[in-house]
Amino acid sequence: MNSLRNRIAILLILAIVAVVGLATFAVSRALQPPMDHRTASIAAQLRLLLTLTKKDEHAAIAAGAVIRPTPAEGQVDPMFSEHLNSVADQTGEPIDAVVSRSVQTDTMIASLKLADDRWLLVDLPDFGPPPGGWVTLAAWIVLIVIGSAAVSVFAAAKIVRPLQLLESAVGNIGSDGMLPHVPEDGPGEVRATAQALNRLSSRLKAAIESRMRLVAAAGHDLRTPMTRMRLRAEFIIEDEEREKWLTDLEELDAIADSAMLLVREEVSAGQSGTIRLDHLVSEVVRELAELGYSAALKHTETALIPGAPLAIKRALRNLIINAATHGRKATIRLARNQDRAVVTISDEGPGIPDELLARVFEPFFRVDVARRKSMPGAGLGLAIAREIIERFGGQIAIMNGHPNGLVQTLTFPLSMAESQ
């Protein structure tokens, strides 16, 4: 009920039902007893018949008049009876009439009281609704409500179609941030929306490609001056000064390599397939342990996920190295949670201040800039890892552990065969 389409549909239905309600009220008023001028005419005719009967009862009976000791049988209409007597009082000699509907003939009969307490029965025109009229009216209203609901739902769907187009386009944004091409057909508003989305997609693609080319060109072009600077640094006589120059150049080289690697990860689709995540995690932990990193696999479960083995392996290496380097020891667990595979990487380090957690995936981000010299890396490991993980439909979250340490949580969708 919170969607715009449902709200518009309900508003249209209420509007149509309100109109039908007013029309029904008007019809019900029209079905009330006849107006005074028509009732006055009936009262005059009844008064004339009553006078003729009193003057020559036998002639009246011979002419077809019906006189009985009791009023006509049937359901009495007290409202019409009171209205008829009131109009008769106002327009001439009063009469005492009882209006009823005959059960046998389903006709209206006026019973006029005579002086000797007998009753003259006179057929009246039926000004009420026809037999079954209210049922017909109710069925008519129901059909109008159903028809108005169908029309309202259709109209609401047409009205919100451009918004649904926007929602569909945003929901289909690829892992590279690109909007899919939207067909430019349909009503004018829909075509205009589709054209605007396609123009936005083209400009966004051009901007991203320009940024990638700029980063790649900058990383590539830095190679030549850095090489010249490295050669010149070799001729510095003082050992300490030369070492400082070489260290700074190595850091610049690492930054350039990481920037180019990030660009390659953003533009590379990779060779995707189904991989055994448990085997991949075990392999990465074993390789890093052999290289001297403090990493241990505590728990693992079988999990098949879609992805590119080399890319996923690179992301796992970055995250585990980050935990082992900054958190002294990395503990890895792999478990399955319904249709997701969850990899948890926890460490024993000091963690990250809560106000900085939202920035950990920014390129070149460092919690403590002063530690750049003592800690290896260019600050792009987390950015590259997130780029890889999200490209294959996964997610990564980082939070502080308790009482200390950092917890990196990776979730991957299981492959179709595995989830079934």
pLDDT digits (tens, 9 = 90+) for 296-330: 999 999 999 988 888 888 889 889 988 898 888 89
Rounded to whole angstroms, how far apart are CA atoms 326 and 377?
11
Pairing of strands 273-276, 108-113: unpaired
pLDDT band at residue 130 under the 50/70/90 scheme: low
What is the per-residue pLDDT for 373? 47
Find residue 296's DSSP bridge partners.
331
**Residue linked to tokens 């829909």:** 190
Rounded to whole angstroms, how far apart are CA atoms 386 and 398?
11
Residue 16 has pLDDT above 80, yes or no: no
Percent of the chain with pLDDT over 90: 14
Rounded to whole angstroms, how far apart are CA atoms 354 and 363?
18
DSSP 370: G
Mean pLDDT confidence for 143-165: 75
Residue 282 has pLDDT above 70, yes or no: yes
pLDDT band at residue 156 under the 50/70/90 scheme: confident
Q: Model pTM greater than 0.75? A: no
Rounded to whole angstroms, how far apart are CA atoms 244 and 24?
93
Mean pLDDT confidence for 253-272: 61
Higher pLDDT pick, 271 / 352:
352
Q: pLDDT tens digit string along 157-172?
A: 777 776 776 677 666 6
Contact 379, 391 (CB under 8 A): no
Q: Nearest Cα to 100, choosing from 117, 118, 124?
A: 124
Question: How many alpha carbons fall within 13 Å on the CB side of residue 1?
Answer: 2
User: How large is the C-alpha radius of gyration of the chain?
Assistant: 45
Q: What is the DSSP string of 175-208?
A: TTSPPPPPP--SSHHHHHHHHHHHHHHHHHHHHH
**In the chain, what are the domain boundaries?**
4-31+132-159, 36-124, 161-218, 268-419
What is the per-residue pLDDT for 332? 94
DSSP 379: S
Cis check for the bond before 403: say yes or no (omega within 30 of 0). Answer: yes
pLDDT band at residue 131 under the 50/70/90 scheme: low
Residue 124 has pLDDT above 60, yes or no: yes
Rounded to whole angstroms, how far apart are CA atoms 36 and 47?
16
Both tokens assigned to 316? 């796992």
Report the residue count for the chain. Answer: 420
What CATH number was assigned to the domain covering residues 268-419?
3.30.565.10
What is the per-residue pLDDT for 364? 67
| Residue 301 CB coordination number (10 Å) | 13
Residue 247 has pLDDT above 70, yes or no: yes
Mean pLDDT confidence for 25-32: 64
Q: Look over the chain and give the mean of its residue pLDDT values, rounded to a whole number.
A: 78
Rounded to whole angstroms, how far apart are CA atoms 278 and 391?
19
What is the per-residue pLDDT for 372? 47
What is the per-residue pLDDT for 407? 93
Higher pLDDT pick, 183 / 78:
78
Rounded to whole angstroms, how far apart are CA atoms 275 and 168?
30
Mean pLDDT confidence for 136-146: 76
Give percent helix, percent strand, percent coil of the chain, each to the nearest 5: 55, 15, 30
pLDDT band at residue 374 under the 50/70/90 scheme: very low
Residue 343 has pLDDT above 90, yes or no: yes
Residue 389 has pLDDT above 80, yes or no: yes
Contacts of 399 (CB under 8 A, 6+ apart): 357, 406, 407, 409
Strongest mean pLDDT among 33-37, 90-94, 144-148: 90-94
Q: Distance from CA of residue 17 to its chain's centroid?
A: 26
Q: pLDDT tens digit string along 392-419?
A: 889 999 999 888 889 999 999 998 655 5
Please report which helix (H) or strand (E) contains residue 109, including its range: strand 108-113
| Residue 263 CB coordination number (10 Å) | 20
Residue 245 has pLDDT above 50, yes or no: yes
Residue 341 has pLDDT above 90, yes or no: yes
What is the per-residue pLDDT for 295? 92
| SS3 assignment, position 339 | coil
| SS3 assignment, position 335 | strand
